[in-house]
Amino acid sequence: MDEDNSKDKFLEIEEETCKKVKLSTKKAVDNIVREYSADNSVKEHSADKNKDQQDFEEEIEEIFKSFEEEIADNESHLKESCSHSIVVQGLCAMCGDEIEDVSNFVSVVHNSDKVLQKYEDAYQTNLKHFFSLCKRNKMILLLDLDHTLVHVTLAKAKCDFSFVKDGVSFYAKTRPGLCEFLEEMHELFEMHVFTLGVREYANEICKNIDPDKKYFGDRIISRSENNGELKKSIKRILNIDKNVLVLDDSLATWRFVENVIVIAQFIYYEVDEFSDPTLVAKRKIREEKQNKRNETKNIALEGKKEINDFLAKECEKNDKEISNENASKIKRDYVQMQHKDLNFSCENIKKTFEKDETKKTVKKEDRELYKNIGVFKKIHSEFFSSNKKAIKNSEKCNNLDEFISVCEFSKLNILEGMSFGCSAELANYVIFMGGTVVPIQNLKSIENVYIVENKEMSKKFNVKNVRKEFLLDCLCNRRLEKIDAYFI
């Protein structure tokens, strides 16, 4: 029944569109006739004019009649032969049929995860775009926002720009070198933004760092369109990753794919759970998940109605208390901060000013974006110089078999030949940089091995104990740091 309704709805839309086209064309015809009538040279031949007008209108009527008949004849054929290539919110965009199995479909637009296309069709579209970019000597670069390009706080502070959303004020500081970085990358890459901030938040940030939509325009993916995922994936928007690089301060968010260039976190303001939007968002997500678990438990409860009603009221009461407690905490911290700002003595103002100046000096020393301009230029150059032949042959072969992936030039092997005993959390970082992870029981039998922040195991096996900052610094600097400087 629903299927028939959706089909009928589709036909109604087609008929309505036809009527609108017909009406607008009719108006256009009337305007042409009116102008035609106003011509002095035509006025002298009014009889011929009337005949021409009549013939013209009859011709238009005939065209529309033919058009409507064609629609009617092809309606059934359209639905029978529809490939259901594009699905919007569960319905085929062409024929209106409900599509239940979307396992072979992928998201194809930035601002919605409800528009899907068959993988094969999306791949062909991406393939054409890949070749088009190659001809322009460009690759694709996905950019994170928070702690990569900007740092945003909820606490009132000096900033490069601010905005208000849903009654909440945000204060943002851009990373040093941002303008230069975007301008340089614009020449080499088609840039996209991929953030786990919500859509409204992402739009505001991008509006301020790219006001003319020169660098990434509307190519923005936020958490709101990420299929409910808290991880990022190149496949969310692209089926081909051979020419794709990523800049992000979090490698784990991308599940350790080799396309990622990791940048050190940009932290300008003091970070806590109630002033950093990223942490606030994570807290809210945790709360939402907990609420859903609580709802599931409540549904599973069996017993008398009175008991269930009582439990439901108690849960509602507890939720309100928790919500009020969180709100009070945020408000209390914010008011205290405001109070401190308004009640400085002259001496304190001087000290704060000096402190701010020190902060600014520190942030001026943040050269991460400048440094990564060189990294991206080098990888870009290696990719195109290594794929010259493949690009030349691309028009003939129309496939990517000959292309060398950008991962061959972006991957790190700086820990090659080194072994580490570490937690599962750190193991992926070691492997990402070409190192080897060794089981604890094998530590004693391997040379050039280190323990990462485990005093007990270090002492037991007489192995050097290393701070985990060694791994982080190697990762962000893309070079092997002097390990003896990190011994514990």
Compute the Cα dihedral for 227, 231, 234, 239 and give only its sign. Answer: negative
Q: For 209-225, what is the mean pLDDT? A: 96
Q: Please indicate, yes or no, whether residues 250 and 274 belong to a single structural domain of this protein.
A: yes
Q: Residue 109 falls within a domain, yes or no? A: no
Q: Please indicate, yes or no, whether residues 313 and 255 belong to a single structural domain of this protein.
A: no
Residue type, 341: D
Which tops the pLDDT comparison, 41 or 434?
434
Taking the whole predicted model, whether its pTM rises above 0.75 is answered as no
List pLDDT tens digits, range 118-172. Answer: 999 999 999 999 999 999 999 999 999 999 999 999 988 999 999 998 899 999 9
Give dist(CA 209, CA 204) in Å, integer: 9
Q: Residue 103 falls within a domain, yes or no? A: no
Query: Which pLDDT value is given to residue 274?
Result: 47
Query: Which pLDDT value is given to residue 270?
Result: 82
pLDDT band at 343 (very low <50, low <70, confident <90, very high): very low
pLDDT band at 346 (very low <50, low <70, confident <90, very high): very low
Query: Which pLDDT value is given to residue 355?
Result: 36
List pLDDT tens digits, range 455-478. Answer: 998 998 899 999 999 999 999 999
Lowest mean per-residue pLDDT among 11-15, 326-330, 406-410 = 326-330
Q: Residue 95 falls within a domain, yes or no? A: no
Q: Residue 104 falls within a domain, yes or no? A: no
Q: Which residues contact 471 (CB under 8 A, 6 or more apart)?
A: 426, 429, 430, 433, 452
Q: Which residues contact 112 (CB under 8 A, 6 or more apart)?
A: 225
- Looking at 345, 380, 409, the residue that finishes a domain is 409
Q: Please indicate, yes or no, whether residues 201 and 221 belong to a single structural domain of this protein.
A: yes
Q: For 87-113, what is the mean pLDDT? A: 91
Lowest mean per-residue pLDDT among 41-50, 59-68, 306-315, 383-392 = 41-50
Q: Residue 42 falls within a domain, yes or no? A: yes
Going by the DSSP 8-state scheme, the letter that residue 405 receives in this structure is: P
Is there a contact between 443 and 449 (Cβ–Cβ < 8 Å)? yes
Q: Residue 390 falls within a domain, yes or no? A: yes
Q: Please indicate, yes or no, whether residues 391 and 476 belong to a single structural domain of this protein.
A: no
Please report, rounded to a whole number, the percentage of residues in the chain having pLDDT higher than 90: 53
Q: For 270-280, what is the mean pLDDT? A: 61
pLDDT band at 86 (very low <50, low <70, confident <90, very high): very high
Q: Is the pLDDT of residue 85 over 80?
A: yes
Give the pair of three-digit tokens for residue 263: 């940048």
- Looking at 355, 378, 409, the residue that finishes a domain is 409
pLDDT band at 21 (very low <50, low <70, confident <90, very high): very low
Give dist(CA 461, CA 265) in Å, integer: 34
Query: Which pLDDT value is given to residue 77?
Result: 58
Q: For 338-347, what is the mean pLDDT? A: 32
Mean pLDDT of the chain: 79
Query: Which pLDDT value is given to residue 236?
Result: 95
CATH of residue 420's domain is 3.40.50.10190
Beta bridge partners of 221: 194
CATH of residue 213's domain is 3.40.50.1000
Q: Residue 375 falls within a domain, yes or no? A: yes
Q: For 184-208, what is the mean pLDDT? A: 97
Q: Please indicate, yes or no, whether residues 272 and 399 belong to a single structural domain of this protein.
A: yes
Q: Is the pLDDT of residue 63 over 80?
A: no
Residue type, 117: Q
Q: Please indicate, yes or no, whether residues 178 and 215 belong to a single structural domain of this protein.
A: yes
Q: Cβ–Cβ contacts within 10 Å for residue 178, how many?
A: 16
List pLDDT tens digits, range 418-467. Answer: 999 999 999 999 999 999 999 887 887 788 899 999 999 899 889 999 99
Q: Please indicate, yes or no, whether residues 50 and 167 belong to a single structural domain of this protein.
A: no
Q: For 210-216, what is the mean pLDDT? A: 97
Query: Which pLDDT value is given to residue 261?
Result: 99
Give dist(CA 367, CA 150) in Å, integer: 14
**What is the rounded (10 degree) CA torsion for 116, 119, 120, 126?**
80
Q: For 236-249, what is the mean pLDDT? A: 97
Give dist(CA 376, CA 387) in Å, integer: 16
Q: Which domain holds residue 460?
A: 412-486
- Helix 469-477 to helix 424-432 angle, to the nearest 10 degrees? 30
Q: Please indicate, yes or no, whether residues 124 and 211 belong to a single structural domain of this protein.
A: yes
- Looking at 57, 81, 105, the residue that finishes a domain is 81
Domain count, the chain: 4
Q: Please indicate, yes or no, whether residues 130 and 203 belong to a single structural domain of this protein.
A: yes
Q: Residue 267 falls within a domain, yes or no? A: yes
Q: Is the pLDDT of residue 402 over 50?
A: yes
Q: Please indicate, yes or no, whether residues 208 and 346 belong to a single structural domain of this protein.
A: no
Q: Please indicate, yes or no, whether residues 403 and 354 belong to a single structural domain of this protein.
A: no
Query: Which pLDDT value is given to residue 393?
Result: 87
Q: Please indicate, yes or no, whether residues 260 and 168 belong to a single structural domain of this protein.
A: yes
